[in-house]
Structure 1
Amino acid sequence: MSRNGGGPRVTRQEWIKYAALLVLAVVAFGVAALALMNPRGVGEPAGLLPSGPVPGPTAYAAAAGAPAPAEATVAGTATAGATVAATAATVPAGQPKIELPARPVLLILGDSYTAGTGAGREDQGWAYDVARTLGYPSNIDGLGGTGFAWGGGAQDDGGREYEVRLREISRDRRFVPNLLILQGGQNDAQLNDPDELKAATAQTIEAARRFWPGIQVVVLGPSAPQPLADTLRGANTAVRAGAALAKAPFIDAYEAPWFTAANSPGFNADGAHPNTAGHAYLAQKFLESWAALTK
């Protein structure tokens, strides 16, 4: 119905209907907006994690641009798992650990292996490889024919046992190590006296601790390519016992074993020493054990 020829007249009932429709439209718009902001549902609080399984530490580290934790990396690769298994065999359970100083200074002392004998160049020896990899200020003292109890010379008459050499190094106050790696035992096998070798090993470790209070000592037992390795069981047992007596970590290359009948031909230089590849292999195996011992 119209009035005075104008537009259609809107009754009171129609105004009420239009107002109700407007209210319903506003409510519907609000619900839609809330749903868009929270896809989980109107009554469910929005979370920070995506739906599905909660990602583990590796996923979070990758998302944040940070390196994955070592545990996640090891668990994720078959090769790393094999490395851990090999290292566990090299470092017996219950070994003392090494707590790395804030500023490590390293001394590696040993026999002809530490001197790099058998490698193409001296600096291709295992000890030099290790020192380069660790990157610490280092001193490498290798002398062929010597040991914990064997002083060198054809009849053990050289007077160059490890303790003697450590004492001489300690007199130079310009070099003060706080980490010591003692490698050896091959030449001590000539003694054929396990008790003497055990005592000499423990005494050498304790002497180092007197010369450099607070120094941490790791012992790397005897090793050699086959068939020479077969003759080192007694010396290895004695050196290991001496290290245990002095409560020093012992890396057991013999029992692992690092050198086997299968790999020795490729690592053998002269029947007694590793070649360049053998020294690189020794360095690799040592560093695996070092990683298991340090914290």
Structure 2
Amino acid sequence: MSADLLARGIGARAHAVARRSARETAMRAAAAIPLGTLPCFTVAASPPLITATDAAASTISAAVRVTATNACFRVTGTPIVPVAADPSTYGASDGAGGTGFTRPIQWEWMSDAAQVELLVLKHNALFDLFVDGQLVQDGAFATPATGDRRLVKLDWSATGDPRRPRHYRLAGINLLFGGLYLDAAGSAWFPGDSARRGLIAILGDSYSQGTGAPSVARTWAAAAAAQLQMDAWSDGVGGAGWNSGGANVPALRVAKGVAALTRAPDLLVTAMGYNDFAADAPALVSLRTRYDACLAAMRSAWPAARVVTLGPWTPLGPTTALGRVKAALIEAAAAHGAAFLDIENFVGVGNRSIYTAADNVHPTAAGHLYLGRRIGQAIAEALA
């Protein structure tokens, strides 16, 4: 190996170590943040005028098109591929050559345009839009599955500073995003690596999918990431557990999702176990085998990431059955050198009426925020 290559290799490793050290310092600092309002759960006081139009042509005069493949976008998710029905529109891939649109994806960019139009192909999309870290409306945006276009226009003209540079973040599922239209004087550019935050990638169940959350991007995962001053990518599947079969085998989910991410995660979090509550002794042995394969797949894809395993959710409080699952996960995490986070008493008899919905299983909107804030703090403390 040449001296030049050796020096570059040493430099790259030093940069990675410094980056990881900075992330962990930020997490330790985040653990001490008071449990006040999270900006990303808050609607902006002066949002733009929002209108939606079902049309192929822009409603902005002399509009400039910015395609979804433009270098101004930072995409967090699995790789994007063209949608066959509309070559000018792009959506999320499942990381295996297909188009599994239920996986989450996030688009970010900067723009000084006074008028911005988002181009979305209607495919049962659910998404939230954040500007400078705050929501532009309380509820999620939604589209039917008709396959035609929808234009979502943001007009800042009536605000006091319509051309102020703003950071945009579009986060959702089933999101076939085709890029932007801008007014003729507007421009869009990349958010910048220097402003990039760390990334948490989560493999979970219906909690991580967002059941009970007020909108698609206001889940416990989003709250935990915000508490840690990081971004979240959360792959949640309703009813999934460590012993799920078919496409929901954890290691297979990692291969199609976590391992194919467009950004390197700093933290990998497994958040399953509740749906394994009926596991007998052989099923607990199987759980361990599935866990081993899952962590092997995660570490093969992202060897520099830290791994955290959550114990099972306790929506009504601890139970004997969930206690057995927790014990199995504690043992498995220890064998892999992963941090284990015991969340058993976060929800119990005293607070379950506040944080658990009427179905006695899923969190309420308040439950998502509560669990996320507590879990974010606990992760920071566990990795300190």
> Of 370, 376, 379, which residue of structure 2 is paired with 1:281?
370
Give me the TM-score of the superposition, normalised by structure 1.
Answer: 0.58
Amino acid at match of 2:350: A
The yes-or-no answer on 1:141 pairing with 2:235 is yes
| AA of the residue aligned to 1:223 | W
What's 2:97 paired with? none
The separation in 1 between residues aligned to 2:219 and 2:231, in whole angstroms, is: 17
Conserved 8 A contact 1:147-1:184: yes
**Residue 174 of structure 1: how far off its partner (Å):** 2.4
Q: In structure 2, do the counterparts of structure 1 residues 123 and 245 end up closer, same or farther at CA, with 3 Å as the change threshold?
A: same
Q: Following the alignment from structure 2 to structure 1, what is the Cα–Cα distance between the partners of residues 258 and 308? A: 18
1:247-291: per-residue Cα shift (whole Å, max 9, x none)?
A: 10000112xx11111111111112111111111111122122112
In the alignment, what sits opposite 1:209?
A: 299
Shift of residue 123, structure 1, vs aligned partner: 2.3
Normalising by the residue count of structure 2, what TM-score does the alignment of the two structures yield?
0.45
Deviation of 1:213 after TM superposition, in Å, equals 2.1
Matching residue of 1:164: 252
Contiguous gaps of at least 5 residues in structure 2: 1-27, 36-195
* Deviation sequence 1:2-39 (CA, Å, 0-9, x none): xxxxxxxxxxxxxxxxxxxxxxxxxxxxxxxxxxxxxx
2:322 alignment partner, one of 232, 235, 258: 232
State the 1:117 CA deviation. Answer: 0.8
Give, in whole Å, the separation in 2 of the partners of 1:285 and 1:134.
11
Question: Could you say if the C-alpha distance between residues 132 and 103 of structure 1 is closer, same or farther in structure 2, counting changes exceeding 3 Å?
Answer: closer
Corresponding residue of 2:272: 184
Amino acid at match of 2:311: G
Residues paired across the two proteins, number: 191
Supply the RMSD in Å over aligned alpha carbons: 2.7
Counterparts of 1:97-136 in structure 2 under 5 Å? 104-136=198-230
- For 2:309, the aligned partner's letter is V
2:247·2:253 contact (CA, 8 Å) conserved in 1? no
DSSP 3-state at the match of 1:123: coil
The amino acid across from 1:273 in the alignment is H
Whole-Å separation in 1 of the counterparts to 2:231 and 2:350: 36
Instruction: Specify the alignment match of 1:36 in structure 2.
Output: none
SS at 1:190 equivalent:
coil
Which structure has the highest helix share of the two? 1
Q: Is the 8 Å Cα contact of residues 123 and 129 (structure 1) preserved in structure 2?
A: no
**Counterpart Cα distance in 2 of 1:173 and 1:232:** 31
More strand per residue: 1 or 2?
A: 2
SS for the counterpart of 2:257 is: helix
Give the letter for the 1:238 counterpart.
Answer: A
Q: Residue 268 of structure 2: SS of its match in structure 1?
A: strand
Please state how far the C-alpha of 1:201 moved relative to its aligned partner: 1.7
1:206 is displaced (CA, Å) by: 2.0
Residues 61-98 of structure 1: CA deviation (Å, up to 9, x unaligned):
xxxxxxxxx99xx9xxxx99xxxxxxxxxxxxxxxxxx
Describe the SS at the equivalent of 1:122: coil
> Residues 1-295 of structure 1 correspond to what in structure 2 (within 5 A)?
104-151=198-245, 158-170=246-258, 172=260, 174-192=262-280, 193-226=283-316, 229=319, 231-254=321-344, 257-269=345-357, 270-295=359-384
Inter-CA distance 259–229: structure 2 relative to 1 (3 Å threshold): farther
Evaluate the alpha carbon distance shift between residue 251 and residue 173 of structure 1 in structure 2; reply closer, same or farther with a 3 A threshold.
Answer: closer
Change (3 A) 1:111 1:227: same
Shift of 1:115: 1.1
Residues in 2 aligned to 1:227 and 1:218: alpha-carbon distance in whole angstroms? 22
What residue in structure 1 maps to residue 90 of structure 2? none
Whether the 8 Å CA contact 1:130–1:283 is kept in 2: the answer is: yes
Measure how far apart 1:122 and its partner are: 2.8
Q: Report the secondary structure of 1:262's partner residue.
A: coil
Structure 2: distance between partners of 1:264 and 1:115: 20
Q: 1:174 to 1:268 in 2, by over 3 A?
A: closer
Native 8 Å contact 1:226 1:260 kept in 2: yes
User: Any stretches of 5+ residues in structure 1 without a counterpart?
Assistant: 1-69, 81-101, 152-157
